[in-house]
Structure 1
Amino acid sequence: MAAEDDDAIEELCVIADTDPGRLTPHLGSLLDLDVLWPAKLYRAADAGVVRRVIERIDGGRTPDRLNHLLLVLAHSANPLAESAMRRWSTQPPAGADKLHISVLSYAREGDWTVGLDGSRRDLCGSTAYRWVMRETPRRADGPTCPWCASPLWTAADLDTTEPAVGAAMSHTGWSGRLVIETCHFCACYTTLYSQVTPAGATTWWTGNTGPSYLPDTAEPEDPPALTPVLGPARPSPYQASAWNRGGSTLGGRPDWIQDAEHADCPGCGQPMDYVGLIGGADLDDYGEGAYYLHLHQPCGFAAVNYQQS
């Protein structure tokens, strides 16, 4: 991998997604070789490796590599990494002035955050299930998008009384039915929010604001005639795929195509909990990209955003 062999990179990434602990004994060697990308290889980094990364940042020897080193720490989600990142948020290390985001904001790349009360909050759960697409007839009298007039798409219809669903969503604190409706077209251009209740009600949020680059559509577009239903459990929470057919997943961790984009709750501004991913390859033979679903139980908001290569 140090020689940038694509096959080696792919093989180690597969291991990081299926059983990251297998890489733990070898992460010191990767660090010696300055292999810092992709940072997800360090998900199961032990305290020794984390300390070495922290010491490298504190030593200021490679400020040009600070971005990669912080990503490594964020993905490790180790308490030592968290403590160091908190310290650097008020005492920035060498190279921090060249970063595009604050040091502590890197936590989101590892799917965690620090809340207003100062405590750590994981944005994802550790249980995941494959989402299988089921054909769903569209209601003729169903709601439509206020922007493009396309029929809204039911991206998820979940009930936590089903044990598997409850396990996958336990980190959200949600109890009851959750229906997430969105515009499959406009969600490709901006994060779309809806207000939801445990009774299964879902309403387009009137505060949604369309970006200036949202294209005008001559005709409304029909949404996918598919809704995800629960499939088998994933052996690892990291096995969602935004690229491959069969990669749609409830729970677990997102497979971001670009940088992590955990939606912020429009009610309180805090990062929302991640619910699941629906891959374009599961919606259409030529589909690409992925829809990411989020929820903030205290404020009753759901969100859908989209990424593509």
Structure 2
Amino acid sequence: MIVRIPCSNPNCNHLILPETAAATGGQCRPCVNAEQRKAYLAEIERNRKEVNLYDPHDSALNWLKLSLTPRKHDPLISYTACPKTRQQLLARLNPNELDELRDTAIANLIENPHFAENILRYLSSFTQLNLLPVLPYLLNNHDYSFEQLFRYADNAITEKLIERVEQADEYQNLCLIALAWVNTPQAHQAFLKWQTQPPAWLKQPSLPLNQYTAYAHWQLDTLGNYQPLTFEPCYAIRVRSTVEQTAIGYLDKTLEACPCCTMPLETLARINPSQLGWVTAAQWEFLVCQYCTPFQEVTFFELDAQGCGHWSSYNATTHHSNTADPESAWEAFDLVIAEQRPAIERSDQFLPEDYSQVGGFPHWVQDCYYPNCPQCTQTMQFTAQLATDEFSSGVEGTFYTYICVNCSITASHYQQT
């Protein structure tokens, strides 16, 4: 019979072998490890140094470079955060400094790619700087991971992308997405040619051609005409701070009940597209069921003559018992359309910014998604996204809204990590 003895730690109820007790001074291995871990952390705390790399007399350019430089973790060093946000620093750079920052990225593409990528992401999203000089380096290294940069491509770069697509090698899918981001008549003609005269290699891509262009937020219709999948201008969405501001709504309960769970439908957003400079229409109301929409791929609604949304008969209604907890309902917020921003500014998923907006390019939490109108089967246009965690604690996920202008049908879609 194996004899075991209690661990010498009075707060531990483990039984250990006598041999273990002799080796550890009477404690079990978990207690020994816990003490060693505690001593290790205490030693780090005693010796950790606070390091401030940001000299107040240094330039905004150097601050930005320091902020974007990846650092190897060292438990004995605590770096002071940059006093300014990266976006604020970018706004202070003059054209020559922006060019220098771009050249720094190019110089580090091979030896320090993470640093270079950090720079290029911020330059691409928050400045109007032409990043065409970067593209030859990306092509030479078959680096298509940051496909949005190819929207700066000229005719020569575009022609090289087309040639590489037609080579049908292992980079073909990435080249197709990069070419879609070029989004020029030259790129449109290439996609139209492959769409109307399918080459032999067209069986190889993992997606239909129109799905590649959807990643760049456009498509060609059945007649080959260019069709944007988003609206511009783009505006941020903020919580209303004064009574003078006109709210666009947010999870504001309506009088109509969801046919699936019988809970009230709610207004996700109510916007005036004419005031936004999109199309001539008085109002678009986008509805959602906070209990059902997150569990369905897409939910459709129909706009009446006044632009008010109603549950659509195109939805597959599945009745189920209502198990929703009223206390778990999201708070209602009054939201407003705030400052205008570039369409691409919030589409990069790797930039830590707020994402709620109307118009512009969506930021996908999971993958690119544009539903087809259930009436005319055309791809619907993206209109707004609301990241719920920006306005309410304890919830997560992003709602996306779409519209088919010709059919007056809206859609709501939900994604979360």
Range into which the TM-score falls when normalised by the shorter chain: 0.7 to 0.9
Deviation at 1:68, TM superposition (A): 0.3
Give the aligned residue type for 1:68. Answer: L
Partner of 1:180: 286
Aligned 1:5-20 pairs, distance under 5 A? 5-19=113-127
Partner of 2:243: none
8 Å Cα contact 2:238/2:337 also seen in 1: yes
- Cα distance in 2 for residues equivalent to 1:198 and 1:244: 40
8 Å Cα contact 2:164/2:172 also seen in 1: no
Relative distance call for 1:148 and 1:8 in structure 2 (3 A) is farther
SS in 2 for 1:267: coil
8 Å Cα contact 1:71/1:109 also seen in 2: yes
Deviation at 1:160, TM superposition (A): 3.5
Of 327, 343, 350, the match for 1:237: 343
Q: Deviations over 1:212-248 (max 9, x none)?
A: xx997622552441253211111x1112367856321
Relative distance call for 1:144 and 1:215 in structure 2 (3 A) is closer
Of 218, 233, 241, the match for 2:323: 218
Question: Which ranges of structure 2 fall in alignment gaps of 5 or more residues?
Answer: 1-108, 241-246
Partner of 1:248: 356
Give the aligned residue type for 2:152. Answer: A
Give the aligned residue type for 2:185. Answer: P
8 Å Cα contact 1:63/1:95 also seen in 2: no
Question: Which ranges of structure 1 fall in alignment gaps of 5 or more residues?
Answer: none
- Cα distance in 2 for residues equivalent to 1:304 and 1:141: 16
- Cα distance in 1 for residues equivalent to 2:111 and 2:366: 24
SS in 2 for 1:22: coil
8 Å Cα contact 1:194/1:302 also seen in 2: yes
Partner of 2:195: 89
Give the aligned residue type for 2:179. Answer: L
Residue 128 in structure 1 maps to residue 241 in structure 2: no
- Cα distance in 2 for residues equivalent to 1:4 and 1:257: 27
SS in 2 for 1:219: coil
- Cα distance in 2 for residues equivalent to 1:137 and 1:296: 21
- Cα distance in 1 for residues equivalent to 2:380 and 2:251: 29
8 Å Cα contact 1:57/1:93 also seen in 2: no
Give the aligned residue type for 1:260. Answer: C
SS in 2 for 1:42: helix
Give the aligned residue type for 1:176. Answer: A
8 Å Cα contact 2:250/2:334 also seen in 1: no
Please identify the structure whose Cα radius of gyration is greater: 2
8 Å Cα contact 1:142/1:152 also seen in 2: yes
Of 259, 273, 280, the match for 2:381: 273
Partner of 2:211: 105
Give the aligned residue type for 2:170. Answer: D
SS in 1 for 2:401: strand
Partner of 2:414: 306
Partner of 1:192: 299
Partner of 1:70: 176
- Cα distance in 1 for residues equivalent to 2:221 and 2:127: 29
Q: Which moved more, 1:131-140 or 1:22-31?
A: 131-140
8 Å Cα contact 1:155/1:227 also seen in 2: no
SS in 2 for 1:9: helix
Q: Deviations over 1:4-62 (max 9, x none)?
A: 7444323322222223643122112211121101211212222221111111222x1x5
- Cα distance in 2 for residues equivalent to 1:245 and 1:38: 18
Partner of 1:79: 185
- Cα distance in 2 for residues equivalent to 1:49 and 1:137: 44
8 Å Cα contact 1:154/1:181 also seen in 2: yes
8 Å Cα contact 1:129/1:251 also seen in 2: yes
RMSD value over aligned CA atoms? 2.8
- Cα distance in 2 for residues equivalent to 1:64 and 1:11: 27
Relative distance call for 1:57 and 1:122 in structure 2 (3 A) is same
Residue 153 in structure 1 maps to residue 259 in structure 2: no
8 Å Cα contact 1:153/1:224 also seen in 2: no
Deviation at 1:126, TM superposition (A): 3.3
Q: Which moved more, 1:181-190 or 1:220-229?
A: 220-229
Deviation at 1:149, TM superposition (A): 2.9
Deviation at 1:267, TM superposition (A): 0.9
8 Å Cα contact 2:218/2:227 also seen in 1: yes
Give the aligned residue type for 2:189. Answer: S
Relative distance call for 1:266 and 1:138 in structure 2 (3 A) is closer
- Cα distance in 2 for residues equivalent to 1:294 and 1:55: 35
- Cα distance in 1 for residues equivalent to 2:331 and 2:256: 15
Give the aligned residue type for 2:333. Answer: L
Q: Deviations over 1:267-307 (max 9, x none)?
A: 10001111111113323235433211111111010111122
SS in 2 for 1:101: coil
Runs of 4+ more than 4 Å apart? 1-4, 90-95, 134-141, 214-217, 241-245
Aligned residue pairs total 297
Relative distance call for 1:247 and 1:284 in structure 2 (3 A) is same
Q: Which moved more, 1:242-251 or 1:64-73?
A: 242-251
Q: Deviations over 1:89-126 (max 9, x none)?
A: 24445753332322243111111111233311111233
- Cα distance in 1 for residues equivalent to 2:237 and 2:252: 22
Relative distance call for 1:210 and 1:2 in structure 2 (3 A) is farther
